C-alpha cells in the first residue's frame, strides 16, 4: 500500500453508481420514546384514562417537554387477516412492510414479539428446553393480539419466520432449532474457571475468543433492534441464551450500542438463561479437569464456579434492565417470562420527548417519570445512552462506525472519494494448471481541500482511516458469465468476501508543499481470478470524523477467450520514486524502473504535463519457424519478479529468447471529433518482456505541449501480426489550460509501500 501527493485535478466528475435512479433521503431523529406501565398499587391492575398532563419526565434531573403521547391496549386490537410484516429487505433482518400486508396503523394495540434463539451460546439440552417453552407459549399462551417472529443466531443471523399470527408456521420454525446445528460456540470454562492452585495443568486462554463471540451476539441484537425502529409500537424480544461471557471492560462499546439501539427502537429484551436451574459442584462438571491442592476443601473452587456462572448472567441482566425488560434465571420453567412480557405490553403509555441536552457524549442519561397520583406505581426503563459523536467515541465505537458505513447501502458523502481499478495478469492458480490470476491495482483519491489539516510546527498533519472490501458477486462464474447453478443476482443477493483492507494513514507534510491545494492518492491491490466483484471503500478523516465512500462493480475478464489479450490501459501524469517492497510481497504492476506510476483517475491533463501510458499484451502468437524478421524490440518495462530487477526503457532486443519470436505492432493516436490530430510512430516488438509468463509490456511518454486544450479520444492500436488479430481500445481525456507553473520535481510519496 502506498500514499502520495499529486497535483490537483482541474476537473472531476463524481462517479455515478449504476443505481443512480434510486434516491434515498437520510434523516436523523432525536426524539426519545419510553413506555410507561401504570399499575394500581393494591391490585396491580393497569390504570387507564390518563393524559399527558398527568405525567412529568426529567432527564438527569432536568425537566423535559413531552411532545408525543399515546396509549395502547391489546384489548382494543383489531383482528388481522393473517397479516405479515415482511422481512428480507436489503440488509435488514426484519424489513418494512410491503404492499398488501399490515400497515402500521393496523398494528396498533398489537404485541410485536420476537423469539430470538442464540444457539451459539446454548448446548443441545438448553435448546430443547427453550424450544419446549416456545411451543408452550405458541400453543397455550399466545393471544389474538400477538404477532410473533422467530430468529436464530448460528453460523449467521437468520430470520426463520417473519411476523405472523399463524401458529403452524411458528411451530415449524421453532421445531427447526431442535437439531442443534451451529450450537455450542460458547466454550465451557475459561482459564480462570475452577483452576485454583492448579499451576501444572494447561487450560487454553479462551477470553479473547469469548470477547469476539459476545460482540457478535450483541451486534446481532443491535441489528434486530435497528430493523424494527420504523415501527412505533412497543416491541418485545424473548432472548434465549446459555449465558454471555464478559471480560472486564471488553464488549463495552457493543453492549452500549445494542442497548441504545433497543431503547431507540422501543424494544424491550426479556432475557432467559436457558441453562435453567443448575447444581454447581465444588469439583466442577465434566467440562473441567480434576482439581489439585486444597481448593475443593476450602470453598475457593465452588466460589470460582459461582463467580463464573454469575459473570455469564450479568450481561443478560444488564440487557434486560436497561431496555425495560426482565431477566429470568435459575428456573426450568420459562413460562413466567412470556407471561410477564404479555402483562407489560397489555396496557401501556408511550411518551416521547426531545432532549434539551444536545451534547452527543455517549453517556448514560437517567430518566425519572412521575405522575400526579399517589395510588399508582410506574414501570419504565431507567434511561438510555445518548448518541456519541466522533469526538466522544472510543476506539471500539470508531471502528464500529467504519464497519457500519461499509455495510450500509447509503453512501457517505461528507468527503469526496474517487476510485479507479485496473487489472494485470500476474500468474496462474494451481501452479499453472488453474485459471489465470490478476493483480487489481486500486487507486483512491481524496482532495486535500476536504481534509482539515492541523498545523504542527512547519508541517501540516492529518490522519486518515481507510477500510475497504471486495466481494465476489453470487451467481457469476469466472469470467463474469452467469452461473447456471446459482440463483439470479438481485439487490439483496449474497456475495463472497474476497479481500479486505484496513489502514490508518498518518500525514505529516511540509507546509511548503501546500497540501490543501493538492490531492491525496492512496494505492493498494488485490489478487483475484476472473469474475465480477463488488468493491467498496470507506475513508474517514480523524479530526472531525467525516466520512466518504465509493461503491462500484468491476469485471475482470477471462483473457483466454480474447484474440488479443490486453491488460488495462494506465494513463498517468506523474511518476514518483517507489519505496522498497517488503520481502515476499507480490510485485506491483505499477512499479517500473524504481518508479511508481500514479494513475490519473479523472483523465484530466495540462499542456505542460507528460502523458504516460502503460499496458501489457499477453501470449501473442508466435511466428512460424521460417519467418523471423530482424526487428528492434521495444522493452517497455523490466520483468516483474519478486526481486524487481531494474532495466532501462527503450532498450534494444538481444538474441531471440525462449518462447519463440513474435511480431506485435502498437501506436497511440489522438482524435478530436472525427479528425486525427496526433499519432506516435509505430512500435514493433519481437521479443516477450517476460517469456516465463508470456508478458509483453509497453510504455509511452508523450509530451502534451503541442496539443491544444480540449477533449480528445485516445486510441491505443495493438496488432498481433502473426495471429492476424487486433484491438483498438479507446478512452477519453481532457486537456485544460495551465493555470500555474508545474513543480520542478514531483513530490515524494507520503506513505511507504507495504
The CATH number for 562-754, chosen from 2.60.40.3880, 3.40.1260.10, 3.40.50.300, 3.90.1280.10, is 2.60.40.3880
As a whole number, the mean pLDDT across the chain is 77
Beta-bridged to residue 3, according to DSSP, are 522
CB atoms within 10 A of CB 279: 5
Render 205-255 in DSSP notation, one character per residue: --HHHHHHHHHHHHHHHHHHHHHTTT--S-EEEEEEES-----TTTTHHHH
Cell matching residue 590 = 505499477
Beta-bridged to residue 139, according to DSSP, are none
Render 648-680 in DSSP notation, one character per residue: -TTBPP-S--TT--B-EEEEEEEEETTEEEEEP
Say if residue 432's pLDDT is above 60.
no
- Across the range 500-529, mean pLDDT stands at 80
Which range, of 117-131, 186-200, 413-427, 450-464, averages the lowest pLDDT?
Answer: 186-200
d(CA 410, CA 226): 15
Cell matching residue 338 = 412470556
Q: β-strands 31-40, 418-421: how paired?
A: unpaired
Beta-bridged to residue 366, according to DSSP, are 383
Residue 82 makes CB contacts below 8 A (sequence gap 6+) with 164, 165, 166
Q: Which of 116, 312, 329, 91 is nearest to 213 (CA)?
A: 312
- What homologous superfamily does CATH list for 63-385? von Willebrand factor, type A domain (3.40.50.410)
Say if residue 17's pLDDT is above 90.
no
Which range, of 159-163, 407-411, 619-623, averages the lowest pLDDT?
Answer: 407-411
d(CA 143, CA 217): 29
Of 71-75, 91-95, 279-283, 487-491, which has the strongest mean pLDDT? 71-75
Q: Would you place residue 460 in the very low, low, confident or very high pLDDT band (cuts 50, 70, 90)?
A: confident
Say if residue 477's pLDDT is above 70.
no
Q: Would you place residue 745 in the very low, low, confident or very high pLDDT band (cuts 50, 70, 90)?
A: very low
d(CA 435, CA 426): 11
Place of cell 495443568: 201
Say if residue 462's pLDDT is above 90.
no
Quickly count helices (H) and strands (E) in the chain: 8, 37
Q: Which long-range contacts link 274-277 to residues 24+ away (Cβ below 8 Å)?
A: 274/122, 274/126, 274/127, 274/129, 274/130, 274/240, 274/241, 274/242, 274/334, 275/123, 275/126, 275/242, 275/243, 276/126, 276/129, 276/330, 276/331, 276/332, 277/330, 277/331, 277/332
- Give the helix ranges, DSSP H, for 484-536: none
- Across the range 7-36, mean pLDDT stands at 52
Q: Is residue 749 within 8 Å of residue 579, measured between CB atoms?
A: yes
pTM exceeds cut of 0.75? no
Q: Which of 544, 523, 522 is nearest to 462 (CA)?
A: 544
Place of cell 499477453: 618
Q: Domain extents for the chain?
A: 1-26+410-561, 63-385, 562-754
Tens-place pLDDT, residues 569-595: 999 998 888 887 777 666 788 888 888
Burial call 739-750: b when 16+ CB within 10 Å, e when fewer: eeeeeeebbebb
Cell matching residue 84 = 405479515
Render 356-392 in DSSP notation, one character per residue: S----B--EEEEEEEES-SSEEEE---EEEPPB-GGG
Place of cell 489439585: 292
Q: β-strands 235-241, 267-273: how paired?
A: parallel
Cell matching residue 123 = 448446548
Q: Which of 134, 127, 214 is nearest to 178 (CA)?
A: 127
Which range, of 31-40, 388-397, 512-521, averages the lowest pLDDT?
Answer: 512-521
Tens-place pLDDT, residues 223-264: 899 888 877 778 899 999 988 876 655 577 678 878 888 888
Residues in the chain: 754
Cell matching residue 538 = 470507506
Q: Nearest 5°: phi and psi at 7?
A: -60, 155
- Across the range 701-714, mean pLDDT stands at 92
Cell matching residue 646 = 531494474
Say if residue 478's pLDDT is above 60.
no
Tens-place pLDDT, residues 283-310: 666 666 666 666 666 677 767 777 777 7
Q: Would you place residue 394 in the very low, low, confident or very high pLDDT band (cuts 50, 70, 90)?
A: confident
Cell matching residue 27 = 434523516
Q: Is residue 324 within 8 Å of residue 213, measured between CB atoms?
A: no
Q: Is residue 256 within 8 Å of residue 362, measured between CB atoms?
A: yes
Q: Would you place residue 2 in the very low, low, confident or very high pLDDT band (cuts 50, 70, 90)?
A: low
| Equal CATH topology for 63-385 and 562-754 | no
Cell matching residue 170 = 411458528
Percentage of the chain lying above the pLDDT 90 cut: 30
Say if residue 482's pLDDT is above 90.
no
d(CA 329, CA 317): 9
For the chain, the straight-line distance linking the first and the last C-alpha, in angstroms and rounded, comes to: 5
Q: In terms of pLDDT, which residue wins out, 301 or 450?
A: 450
Say if residue 642's pLDDT is above 90.
no
Q: What is the pLDDT of residue 475?
A: 57
DSSP code of residue 587: P
Element (H, E) at 39: strand 31-40
Q: What is the pLDDT of residue 155?
A: 81
Say if residue 111's pLDDT is above 60.
yes
d(CA 114, CA 170): 11
Furthest CA-CA distance within the chain: 109
DSSP code of residue 400: H
Beta-bridged to residue 146, according to DSSP, are 111
Q: In terms of pLDDT, which residue wins out, 181 or 266?
A: 266
Say if residue 736's pLDDT is above 80.
yes
Q: In Å, how far are 115, 171, 466, 688 from 723, measured between CA atoms?
A: 66, 67, 45, 15
Say if residue 340's pLDDT is above 70.
yes
If DSSP codes are grouped into helix, strand and coil, which group holds residue 203?
coil
- Torsion 220-222-223-228 (CA) sign: positive
d(CA 463, CA 149): 44
Q: Which of 459, 484, 486 is nearest to 474 (CA)?
A: 486
Q: Which of 263, 186, 250, 185 is nearest to 222 (CA)?
A: 263
Place of cell 399490515: 102
d(CA 697, CA 720): 14
Beta-bridged to residue 463, according to DSSP, are 506
Q: What is the pLDDT of residue 376?
A: 93
- Across the range 327-356, mean pLDDT stands at 89
CB atoms within 10 A of CB 564: 20
Q: What is the pLDDT of residue 105?
A: 67
* DSSP E strands, 94-197: 111-118, 146-153, 157-164
Tens-place pLDDT, residues 646-691: 333 333 332 334 445 899 999 999 999 889 999 999 999 999 988 8
Q: Would you place residue 563 in the very low, low, confident or very high pLDDT band (cuts 50, 70, 90)?
A: very high
Amino acid at each position: 500500500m502506498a500514499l502520495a501527493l499529486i497535483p490537483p485535478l482541474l476537473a472531476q466528475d463524481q462517479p455515478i453508481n449504476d443505481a443512480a435512479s434510486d434516491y434515498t433521503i437520510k434523516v436523523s431523529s432525536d426524539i426519545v420514546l419510553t413506555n410507561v406501565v401504570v399499575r394500581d398499587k393494591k391490585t396491580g391492575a393497569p390504570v387507564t384514562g390518563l393524559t399527558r398532563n398527568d405525567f412529568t419526565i426529567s432527564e438527569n434531573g432536568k425537566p423535559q417537554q413531552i411532545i408525543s403521547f399515546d396509549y395502547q391496549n391489546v384489548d382494543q386490537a383489531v383482528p388481522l387477516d393473517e397479516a405479515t410484516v415482511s422481512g428480507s429487505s436489503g440488509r435488514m433482518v426484519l424489513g418494512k412492510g410491503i404492499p398488501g400486508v399490515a400497515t402500521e396503523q393496523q398494528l396498533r394495540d398489537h404485541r410485536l414479539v420476537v423469539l430470538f434463539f442464540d444457539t451459539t451460546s446454548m448446548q443441545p439440552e438448553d435448546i430443547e428446553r427453550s424450544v419446549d417453552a416456545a411451543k408452550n407459549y405458541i400453543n397455550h399462551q399466545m393471544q389474538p393480539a400477538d404477532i410473533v417472529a422467530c430468529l436464530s443466531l448460528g453460523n449467521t443471523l437468520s430470520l426463520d419466520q417473519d411476523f405472523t399470527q399463524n401458529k403452524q408456521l411458528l411451530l415449524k420454525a421453532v421445531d427447526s432449532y431442535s437439531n442443534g446445528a451451529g450450537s455450542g460456540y460458547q466454550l465451557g470454562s475459561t482459564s480462570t474457571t475452577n483452576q485454583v492452585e492448579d499451576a501444572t495443568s494447561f487450560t487454553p486462554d479462551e477470553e479473547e475468543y469469548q470477547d469476539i463471540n459476545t460482540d457478535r451476539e450483541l451486534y446481532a441484537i443491535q441489528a434486530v433492534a435497528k430493523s424494527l425502529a420504523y415501527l412505533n409500537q412497543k416491541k418485545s424480544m424473548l432472548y434465549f441464551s446459555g449465558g454471555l461471557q464478559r471480560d472486564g471492560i471488553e464488549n463495552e462499546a457493543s453492549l452500549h450500542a445494542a442497548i441504545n439501539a433497543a431503547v431507540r427502537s422501543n424494544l424491550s429484551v426479556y432475557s432467559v438463561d436457558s441453562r435453567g436451574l443448575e447444581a454447581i459442584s465444588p469439583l466442577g462438571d465434566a467440562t473441567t479437569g480434576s482439581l489439585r491442592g486444597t481448593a475443593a476443601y476450602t470453598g475457593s473452587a465452588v466460589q470460582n464456579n459461582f463467580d463464573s456462572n454469575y459473570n455469564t448472567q450479568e450481561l443478560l441482566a444488564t440487557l434486560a434492565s436497561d431496555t425495560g425488560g426482565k431477566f429470568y434465571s435459575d428456573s426450568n420453567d420459562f413460562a413466567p417470562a412470556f407471561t410477564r412480557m404479555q402483562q407489560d405490553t397489555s396496557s401501556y403509555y408511550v411518551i416521547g420527548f426531545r432532549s434539551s441536552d444536545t451534547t452527543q457524549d455517549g453517556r448514560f442519561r437517567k430518566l425519572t417519570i412521575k405522575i400526579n397520583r399517589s395510588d399508582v406505581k410506574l414501570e419504565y426503563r431507567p434511561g438510555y445512552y445518548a448518541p456519541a459523536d466522533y469526538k466522544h467515541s472510543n476506539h471500539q465505537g470508531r471502528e464500529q462506525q467504519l464497519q457500519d458505513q461499509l455495510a450500509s447501502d447509503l453512501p457517505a458523502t461528507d468527503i469526496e472519494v474517487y476510485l479507479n481499478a485496473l487489472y494485470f495478469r500476474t500468474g496462474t492458480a494451481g501452479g499453472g494448471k488453474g485459471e489465470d490470476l490478476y493483480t487489481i491495482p486500486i487507486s483512491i483519491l481524496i482532495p486535500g481541500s476536504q481534509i482539515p489539516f492541523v498545523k504542527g510546527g512547519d508541517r501540516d498533519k492529518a490522519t486518515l482511516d481507510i477500510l475497504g472490501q471486495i466481494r465476489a458477486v453470487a451467481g457469476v462464474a469466472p469470467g463474469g458469465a452467469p452461473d447456471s447453478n446459482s440463483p439470479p443476482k438481485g439487490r439483496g443477493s449474497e456475495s463472497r468476501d474476497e479481500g479486505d483492507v484496513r489502514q490508518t494513514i498518518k500525514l505529516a507534510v511540509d507546509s511548503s508543499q501546500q497540501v490543501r491545494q493538492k490531492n491525496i492518492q492512496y494505492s493498494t491491490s488485490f489478487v483475484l481470478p476472473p469474475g465480477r466483484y463488488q468493491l467498496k471503500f470507506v475513508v474517514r478523516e480523524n479530526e472531525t470524523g467525516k466520512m466518504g465512500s465509493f461503491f462500484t462493480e468491476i469485471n475482470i475478464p477471462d483473457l483466454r477467450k480474447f484474440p488479443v489479450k490486453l491488460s488495462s490501459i494506465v494513463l498517468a501524469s506523474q511518476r514518483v520514486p517507489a519505496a522498497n517492497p517488503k520481502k515476499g510481497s507480490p510485485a506491483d504492476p505499477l512499479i517500473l524502473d524504481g518508479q511508481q506510476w500514479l494513475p490519473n483517475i479523472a483523465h484530466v491533463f495540462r499542456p505542460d504535463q507528460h502523458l504516460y501510458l502503460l499496458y501489457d499484451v499477453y501470449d501473442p502468437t508466435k511466428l512460424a519457424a521460417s519467418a523471423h524478421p530482424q526487428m528492434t524490440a521495444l522493452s517497455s518495462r523490466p520483468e516483474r519478479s519478486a526481486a524487481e530487477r531494474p532495466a532501462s526503457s527503450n532498450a534494444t532486443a538481444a538474441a531471440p529468447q525462449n518462447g519463440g519470436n513474435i511480431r506485435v505492432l502498437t501506436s497511440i493516436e489522438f482524435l478530436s471529433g472525427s479528425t486525427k490530430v496526433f499519432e506516435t510512430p509505430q512500435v514493433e516488438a519481437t521479443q516477450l518482456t517476460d517469456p516465463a509468463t508470456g508478458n509483453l509490456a509497453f510504455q509511452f511518454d508523450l509530451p502534451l505541449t503541442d496539443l491544444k486544450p480540449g477533449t480528445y479520444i485516445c486510441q491505443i492500436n495493438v496488432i498481433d501480426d502473426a495471429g492476424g488479430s487486433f484491438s483498438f481500445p479507446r478512452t477519453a481525456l481532457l486537456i485544460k489550460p495551465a493555470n500555474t507553473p508545474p513543480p520542478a520535481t514531483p513530490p515524494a510519496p507520503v506513505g511507504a509501500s507495504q
